A and B are shown apart, each in its own frame.
Chain A
Amino acid sequence: MIYLELFLGFLRVGFFAFGGAYAAIPFIREVVLAYGWLSDDMVSYIIAVSESTPGPVMVNMATYVGAVKGGVIGAAIATLAVVMPAFFIILLIMVVFKKLLKNRYFIAILSGLRPAIIGIIAATGVYMIYKNIFLTGNNASFAFDIKTAIFTAALAAAYFAAGKLRKKSVSPILLIAVSAVAGVFVYGF
């Protein structure tokens, strides 16, 4: 029952992604891989597509996965599922729990969740880079890809250096565009 799976999977994402787009990526990746909806590579691609198109990244990714797995109905179900927790929690806070944000237990829980999310995001990013460089054999078996290692290092160095020079971080879309053009030259010939 793909519709039910999409609904439950993205409801989980919407419910646990504290802190916006990047907080959702680890959960989306987990759900998508656990159900076998898309390959790991495809997850990376849709992250890039979602970053480069308008709208919330989480919503974009839910729509994409839903559309590929269940057509327009699947897309609608996954999208609604990912936004539902946020929608109802905001209503609850505005109507019933007006003091929730000042509740010390809520604050205590939140101050534990925030750093945990950061750790989870960092680990997910590091693992994706590691996999892209070291697990390039068949079925993600160990195989070191020196070309990708150098490419990634150069791209990261350029990204952080440009951020430092401009004293303002480079927009994700710009990095994605540069990496796409560079990718054509490095992998295309």
Chain B
Amino acid sequence: MAAIIELFVTFFKIGLFTFGGGYAMISIIEDTCVQKKKWITDEEMLNMTVIAESTPGPIAINCSTYVGFKKKGLLGAVASTLGVILPSFIIIFIISAFLDNFLEIKFVASAFAGIKAAVGILIVSAAIKMFGKLKKNALTVTIALSAFAALAVFDFFAIHITSIVILACAAVVSLALSFAGKQERAGDGK
């Protein structure tokens, strides 16, 4: 039981002190769970990062579930996952009660009009950074540009198609080409 509580408290602290989520959290988790607590090894940490990046959902959740399960099974996974989300849940819940009223103050509304411009810039620059790190070949670049073009055109003409359709197309194309590539290599006798 003490170990479960320790998992909960440790991840509660991680959730409380990491801003921006995702990659910021990975370095804190590394510091806490590998260096200080020695709950997982360096290799497991690396493995976990790869899994977190290859699976959907918040990276912090992927990591806390992984560490919790390694340490104390299902109960550990639940404790550390709840621990990591609880601080932001409480903070955001409190903010949600005030934000609407807060926005009626004139200078706050002006500040948020400025913030609106910043949010678009942040999103585009995140995409640029992710594109920079992408393993580029003809296929990946084509998919990235087509997905961009498809969604941009649909948005522009206010056609409602969900991004999930685009994701599904990309997955199918990539999978089909991987099958085709296997055939081709088999045909070449390589």
Contacts and interface: CB of A to CB of B under 8 A. Distances in A.
Contacts of B172: 112
B56 A94 contact: no
B122 A51 contact: yes
Contact of A109 (B124, B129, B175): B175
B36 to A, nearest CB: 19
Given A68-B96, A93-B51, A132-B117, A79 B89 contact: yes
Contact of B57 (A45, A83, A159): A83
A53 B92 contact: yes
B172 to A, nearest CB: 8
Contacts of B152: 123, 126-127
Contacts of A183: 110-115, 117
Contact of A179 (B115, B145, B177): B115
Contacts of A109: 171, 174-175
A129 B117 contact: yes
Given A16-B56, A125-B124, A22 B111 contact: no
Contacts of A53: 19, 88, 91-92, 95
Contact of A90 (B65, B103, B117, B148): B65
Interface in A54-70: 54-60, 63-64, 67-68
Given A64-B96, A93-B51, A54 B114 contact: no
A2 interface: no
Interface residues of B, number: 100
Nearest to B148: A119
Interface residues of A, number: 102
Q: Which of A46, A54, A110 has the most CB of B within 10 A?
A: A54
Interface string B106-136: 1101111111111111111111111100110
B59 A121 contact: no
Contacts of B23: 20
A8 interface: no
Q: Which of B15, B66, B85 has the most CB of A within 10 A?
A: B85
B167 A132 contact: no
Interface in A1-54: 12, 14-22, 24-27, 30, 34, 41, 44-54
Interface string A82-106: 1101110111011000000100110
20 contacts: A17-B58, A21-B22, A22-B126, A24-B58, A46-B99, A50-B92, A54-B91, A82-B57, A83-B85, A94-B70, A116-B166, A117-B167, A118-B148, A120-B166, A122-B123, A125-B122, A126-B152, A148-B117, A180-B115, A186-B114
Interface of A: 12, 14-22, 24-27, 30, 34, 41, 44-60, 63-64, 67-68, 72, 75-76, 79, 82-83, 85-87, 89-91, 93-94, 101, 104-105, 108-130, 132, 148, 151-152, 155-156, 159-160, 169, 171-173, 175-176, 178-184, 186-188
Report, nearest first, the 9 A-B pairs whose CB atoms are least far apart: A183-B114, A55-B88, A86-B57, A112-B174, A119-B147, A125-B123, A116-B170, A108-B178, A179-B118
